[in-house]
């Protein structure tokens, strides 16, 4: 008989049941061997290994609100990055940062820092919002998915499992081990993955190698990515834009009615430096274009006058969608994206009980983007700026038009804005695992210590130094380019964590018969010493100072002004002002502190009832040397409870209740600082001393029913989430009514409910005449706002809660075929999204009667069809997909909400078709 080795991965519950069945079967077989000593049957060997992947009921018994993805599933669904992860999971979406990066996830109506992100239990960088800064980054560090083994997406309050920030949910990542790469029956493994996505020219190359020998094991993963901006629908590129830009004209002739032919127009001049003998033909001063110029009917214009007349109106030019710059731009901003990651794990098994491991990670990401909504030219809308000079040299008369605000610049140069984002994550960690041979008291102990440094760097470049229409990011003011200008600003956010985790696990059996139960106990201890630093600075401007000085002449054609060129110099101006506390302050914003937690969890598994209880205590201490930054200790209890009733093998009823909390973010502790210019005012000082921020709180109630059997499974749940003490900006009037204390306050409450449905059907199990491997799937999520209100009527200049984080109701329908041995497969997925509810993104600003909304930018309903497939041949797998097969035009709410009042870097363009 051929011996077959089948490697199954069972959950701990399945292992318990399997052990009981195997034990009973073994006893019966042994008794039968005593009675009969013939007809011996040899069975295939079955090797059972416990799953080291995460699963929905790993931390609580109901599985309500949980979505778990392992690496195999991520590969099958062609998940290449953060925006692909939740493609087919309604109710979870990505928060766009607006400059190529992201600012976290949105779950159950909240987003950013209200959805916790952890990798192997390590908190990732917070979203840090520098209000008023042109260089505001606001991104989080994105996680390299090729380093990830499994992901748990927990919807609903989850602080008992994930701590602070799990207000509306949490996302927990677990990194790969050597065993994920080592091939079955071997001591080594090598994986190479190459992928390309045409939607954004995204190329990925990842190589993973692992091996084990003599108790040692090692894993190395190297990943490189590069890509561009996401393309818009091809029809959008056919759009043409008309612009009317300032070109200026030489005012040599008087063209007004009743003037004589070729009569001198404006003032005339000679620049001595270009004409030392002063016998050159005088030049006329340059003037701005204008509309509706009064035309002279008699005498007729001469050819020279007509040429000047044609130059008076603003020049109309037609540009393609890709060339156009301005608020009506339909094409996306050009983006250059690169990422490099090296991930390593090493370990040594001293024996079956002791293991010591180390982990190293170095991940860098780069986003270079040009803001094409900034017009590269100037129009009549710009002429309200102060204009000076009017004198020029050479043939470019725009040298005679110079805007002279605090930092002057000339109209001859392209107006260009670039943003650079640089993300860098470094991690060093050690892990010790102990599994005693005699597990009477403990099954396992895990101790980990990690050092994690994350740097999020963003820089603004504003340039006026290359002749229009040339764009040169590297140009700078030079002495030969009068009134050229360069301005920059930098935000460098650093977040450091020193984390120690200790976990104890024990499984206990109790009771007999129908009362037999298994307790899975977990005790967790954790400590985190953290530092937050926002280094805001490099606010400088540099320009080439030009100009001319007149020393004689009256400006007539026969007696022109005689100018001498002023000495050229490159001036540098610092825009920082540390006497103020607002965005002009360039002093480092330092906050340090520590947190620790104690958690306990008991999952009770029995034949008809499963019970779960989790409780956790967290303490956070924040300290700063800055008296205007809040220094405070926060103590919070969090808990969750669940029960699952299993009256039959095919039906289960579940209920889950949990709470969540979020301590104030680092930028909220720092404060808004608009009032700090009044720091010597005793009323402001009194208001500052009394200012406090409380943690945000949430509760989650969820009830569900699950059906499972040969047909597949169907899970339906109803949830209600309540959010209290949500932090928003508001103005607090102090005793002197002329002063306003504008800062962050606990002021918003929100309540919402919704429905979630997930199902997958084995069509062969339903109808045996169909070949094994056919399946269909359904997913649906809807969230509805029940209540939103402001809790303190004494605060002014505050908005009603704007719920743009709620994803419109969405359906995802799937149908496909997977070969029973996974040799090949193909599937089609249809996604249908309802329109965004206008009531969710509108509200009142409570400062007089002033309506606040998203400028009317909503999305209509849309649908797409995607086809994906794969082929496995020996050690090779080829996967492919065609997304939006019918090439429909649509815009997702996740993209359009970048134009909203809560956006990280608000898109102020008028044409949101660019999000198609």
Whether pLDDT at 872 is above 50: yes
Whether pLDDT at 747 is above 70: yes
| pLDDT recorded at residue 395 | 87
| pLDDT recorded at residue 2 | 33
Which residues fall within 8 angstroms of residue 454, CB to CB, at 6 or more apart? Answer: 124, 125, 141, 423, 424, 425, 426, 494, 495, 496
| pLDDT recorded at residue 915 | 58
pLDDT band, very low/low/confident/very high, at 901 (cuts 50, 70, 90): confident
pLDDT per residue as tens digits for the range 771-829:
999 999 999 999 999 999 999 888 888 888 989 999 999 999 999 999 999 999 999 99
| pLDDT recorded at residue 583 | 78
Q: For 525-553, what is the mean pLDDT?
A: 95
Between 21-30, 279-288, 379-388, 576-585, the lowest mean confidence (pLDDT) is in 21-30
pLDDT per residue as tens digits for the range 62-82:
999 999 999 989 998 999 988
Residue 74's region, left for phi above 0, alpha for psi from -120 to 50, else beta, is alpha
Whether pLDDT at 25 is above 90: no
3-class DSSP assignment, residue 246: coil
pLDDT per residue as tens digits for the range 422-437:
999 999 999 999 999 9
pLDDT per residue as tens digits for the range 10-20:
333 333 333 33
Report H helices in 120-256. 159-162
- The residue assigned the tokens 């206008």 is 838
Contact 510, 519 (CB under 8 A): yes
Residue 756 burial (CB count, 10 A): 24
pLDDT per residue as tens digits for the range 194-221:
999 999 999 999 999 999 999 999 999 9
Nearest C-alpha neighbor of 658 from the set 677, 643, 678: 643
- What burial letters (b/e) apply to 106-116, b meaning 16+ CB within 10 Å? bbbbbbbbbbb
Between 4-18, 361-375, 704-718, the lowest mean confidence (pLDDT) is in 4-18
Whether pLDDT at 726 is above 90: yes
Residue 447 burial (CB count, 10 A): 15
DSSP for 69-87 reads EEHHHHHHTT--SHHHHTT
Q: Helix, strand, coil proportions of the chain in percent (round to 5)?
A: 10, 50, 40
Helix (H) or strand (E) run with residue 18 in it: helix 12-35
Whether pLDDT at 632 is above 90: yes
pLDDT per residue as tens digits for the range 94-130:
999 888 889 999 999 999 999 999 999 999 999 998 8
pLDDT band, very low/low/confident/very high, at 870 (cuts 50, 70, 90): very high
Higher pLDDT, 251 or 896: 251
Cα distance between residue 231 and residue 222, in whole Å = 28
3-class DSSP assignment, residue 30: helix
Q: What are phi and psi of 210, to 5 degrees?
A: -150, 155
Residue 827 burial (CB count, 10 A): 20
- The residue assigned the tokens 């540009």 is 319
Higher pLDDT, 438 or 560: 560
pLDDT band, very low/low/confident/very high, at 735 (cuts 50, 70, 90): low
| pLDDT recorded at residue 16 | 34
Whether pLDDT at 386 is above 90: no
| pLDDT recorded at residue 578 | 83
Distance of CA 195 to the CA centre of its chain: 22
pTM for this model (two decimals): 0.89
Between 42-51, 266-275, 325-334, 543-552, the lowest mean confidence (pLDDT) is in 42-51
Q: How do beta strands 202-213 and 315-320 pair?
A: unpaired
Whether pLDDT at 53 is above 90: no
Q: Could you tell me which residues are beta bridge partners of residue 517? A: 510, 606
Q: What is the percent of the chain where pLDDT is above 70?
A: 89
Write out 635-679 in H/E/C secondary structure: EEEEEEEEEEECCCCCEEEEEEEEEEEECCCHHHHHCCCCCHHHC
Nearest C-alpha neighbor of 761 from the set 779, 784, 745, 743: 779
Q: What angle do CA 42, 45, 49 make, to 5 degrees?
A: 155
Whether pLDDT at 32 is above 50: no
| pLDDT recorded at residue 3 | 31
Q: What angle do CA 93, 201, 176 make, to 5 degrees?
A: 60
| pLDDT recorded at residue 439 | 86
- What burial letters (b/e) apply to 486-499, b meaning 16+ CB within 10 Å? bbbbbbbbbbbbeb
| pLDDT recorded at residue 35 | 42
Top mean pLDDT of 4-13, 68-77, 902-911 is at 68-77
Contact 44, 4 (CB under 8 A): yes
What is the DSSP code (8-state) at residue 894? Answer: H
pLDDT band, very low/low/confident/very high, at 31 (cuts 50, 70, 90): very low
Q: Could you tell me which residues are beta bridge partners of residue 490? A: 459, 537
Q: What are phi and psi of 607, to 5 degrees?
A: -70, -40
Nearest C-alpha neighbor of 177 from the set 404, 345, 388: 345
pLDDT band, very low/low/confident/very high, at 694 (cuts 50, 70, 90): very high
Tally the C-alpha atoms within 13 A of residue 656's C-alpha that lie toward its C-beta. 28
pLDDT per residue as tens digits for the range 317-329:
999 999 999 999 9
Query: Mean pLDDT across the chain, nearest whole number?
Result: 89
What is the DSSP code (8-state) at residue 692? Answer: -
| pLDDT recorded at residue 447 | 98
pLDDT band, very low/low/confident/very high, at 5 (cuts 50, 70, 90): very low
| pLDDT recorded at residue 902 | 76
Higher pLDDT, 697 or 76: 697
Whether pLDDT at 293 is above 80: yes
Q: What is the percent of the chain where pLDDT is above 90?
A: 73
Whether pLDDT at 623 is above 70: yes
First to last CA, the chain: 60
Whether pLDDT at 40 is above 90: no
Q: Could you tell me which residues are beta bridge partners of residue 94? A: 105
Q: For 625-654, what is the mean pLDDT?
A: 95
Whether pLDDT at 48 is above 70: no
pLDDT band, very low/low/confident/very high, at 190 (cuts 50, 70, 90): very high
**For residue 249, what are its two tokens?**
């004209």
Whether pLDDT at 150 is above 70: yes
| pLDDT recorded at residue 33 | 39
């Amino acid at each position: 008989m051929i011996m077959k080795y089948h490697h199954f991965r069972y959950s701990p519950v399945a292992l318990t049941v399997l052990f009981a069945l195997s034990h009973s079967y073994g006893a019966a077989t042994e008794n039968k061997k005593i009675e009969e000593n013939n007809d011996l049957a040899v069975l295939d060997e079955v090797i059972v290994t416990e799953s080291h992947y995460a699963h929905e009921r790993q931390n609580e018994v109901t599985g309500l609100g949980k979505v778990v993805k392992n690496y195999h599933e991520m590969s099958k669904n062609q998940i290449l990055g953060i925006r692909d992860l939740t493609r087919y999971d309604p109710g979870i979406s990505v928060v766009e940062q607006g400059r190529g990066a992201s600012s976290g996830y949105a779950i159950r109506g909240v987003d950013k820092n209200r959805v916790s992100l952890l990798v192997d239990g390590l908190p990732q960088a917070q979203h840090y919002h520098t209000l008023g800064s042109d260089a505001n980054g606001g991104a989080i560090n994105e996680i390299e998915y090729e380093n990830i083994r499994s992901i748990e997406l927990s919807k609903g309050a989850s602080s008992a499992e994930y701590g602070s920030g799990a207000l509306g949910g949490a996302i927990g990542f677990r990194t790969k081990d050597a065993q994920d790469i080592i091939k079955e029956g071997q001591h080594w493994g090598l994986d190479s993955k190459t992928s390309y996505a045409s939607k954004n020219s995204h190329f990925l190359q990842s190589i993973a190698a692992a091996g084990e020998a003599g108790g040692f094991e090692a894993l190395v993963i190297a990943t490189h990515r590069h890509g561009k901006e996401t393309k818009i629908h091809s029809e959008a590129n056919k759009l043409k834009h008309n612009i009317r830009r300032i070109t200026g004209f030489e005012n040599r002739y008087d063209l007004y009615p009743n003037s004589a032919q070729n009569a001198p127009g404006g003032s005339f001049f000679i620049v001595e430096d270009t004409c030392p003998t002063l016998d050159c033909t005088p030049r006329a001063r340059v003037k701005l274009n204008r509309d509706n110029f009064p035309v002279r009917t008699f005498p007729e214009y001469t050819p020279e006058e007509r040429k000047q007349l044609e130059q008076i109106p603003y020049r109309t030019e037609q540009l393609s969608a890709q060339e156009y710059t301005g608020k009506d731009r339909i094409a996306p901003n050009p983006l250059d994206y690169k990422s490099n990651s090296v991930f390593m794990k090493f370990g040594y098994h001293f024996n079956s009980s002791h293991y010591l491991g180390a982990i190293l990670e170095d991940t860098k990401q780069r986003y270079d983007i040009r803001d094409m909504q900034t017009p590269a030219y100037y129009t009549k809308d710009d002429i309200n700026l102060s204009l000076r000079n009017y004198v020029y040299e050479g043939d470019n008369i725009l040298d005679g038009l110079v805007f002279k605000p605090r930092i002057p610049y000339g109209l001859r140069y392209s107006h260009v804005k670039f943003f650079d984002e640089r993300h860098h994550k470094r991690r060093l960690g050690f892990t010790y695992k102990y599994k005693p041979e005699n597990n009477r008291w403990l099954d396992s102990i895990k101790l980990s210590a990690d050092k994690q440094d994350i740097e999020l760097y963003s820089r603004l470049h504003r340039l006026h130094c290359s002749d229009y229409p040339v764009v040169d990011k590297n140009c700078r003011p030079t002495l030969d380019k009068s009134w050229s200008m360069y301005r920059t600003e930098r935000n460098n956010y650093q977040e450091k964590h020193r984390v120690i985790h200790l976990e104890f696990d024990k499984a206990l059996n109790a009771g007999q018969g129908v009362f037999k139960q298994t307790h899975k106990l977990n005790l967790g201890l954790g400590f985190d010493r953290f530092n937050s630093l926002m280094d805001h600075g490099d606010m400088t401007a540099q320009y080439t100072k030009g100009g001319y000085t007149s020393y004689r002449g009256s400006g007539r054609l026969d007696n022109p002004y005689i100018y001498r060129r002023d000495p050229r110099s490159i001036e540098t101006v610092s825009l920082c002002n540390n006497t103020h506390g607002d965005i002009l302050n360039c002093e480092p914003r330092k906050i340090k502190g520590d947190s620790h937690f104690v958690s306990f969890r008991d999952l009770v598994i029995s034949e008809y009832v499963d019970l779960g209880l989790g409780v956790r205590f967290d303490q956070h201490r924040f300290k700063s040397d800055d008296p205007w930054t809040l220094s405070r200790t926060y103590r919070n209890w969090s808990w969750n409870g669940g029960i699952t009733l299993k009256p039959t093998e095919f039906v289960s009823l579940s209920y889950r209740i949990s709470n969540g909390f979020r301590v104030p973010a680092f930028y909220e502790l720092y404060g808004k600082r608009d009032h700090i210019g009044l720091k010597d005012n005793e009323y402001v000082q009194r208001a500052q001393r009394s200012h406090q921020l409380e943690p945000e709180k949430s509760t989650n109630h969820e009830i569900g029913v699950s059906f499972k059997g040969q047909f597949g499974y169907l899970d339906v749940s109803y949830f209600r989430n309540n959010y209290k003490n949500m932090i928003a900006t508001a103005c607090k009037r102090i005793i002197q009514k002329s002063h306003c204390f504008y800062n962050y306050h606990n002021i918003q409450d929100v309540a919402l409910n919704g429905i979630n449905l997930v199902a997958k059907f084995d069509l062969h199990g339903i109808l045996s005449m169909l070949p094994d491997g056919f399946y269909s799937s359904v997913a649906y999520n809807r969230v509805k706002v029940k209540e939103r209100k402001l809790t303190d009527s004494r605060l002014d200049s505050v908005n009603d809660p704007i719920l743009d984080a709620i994803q419109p109701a969405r359906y995802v329908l799937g149908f496909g075929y997977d070969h029973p041995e996974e040799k090949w497969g193909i599937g089609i997925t249809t996604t249908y999204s309802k329109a965004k509810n206008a009531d969710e993104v509108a509200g009142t600003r409570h400062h007089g009667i002033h309506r606040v909304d998203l400028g009317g930018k909503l999305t209509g309903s849309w649908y797409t069809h995607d086809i994906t497939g794969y082929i496995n041949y020996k050690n090779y797998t080829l996967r492919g997909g065609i997304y939006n097969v019918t090439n429909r035009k649509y815009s997702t709410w996740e993209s359009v909400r970048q134009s909203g009042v809560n956006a990280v870097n608000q898109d102020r363009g008028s044409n949101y078709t660019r999000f198609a």
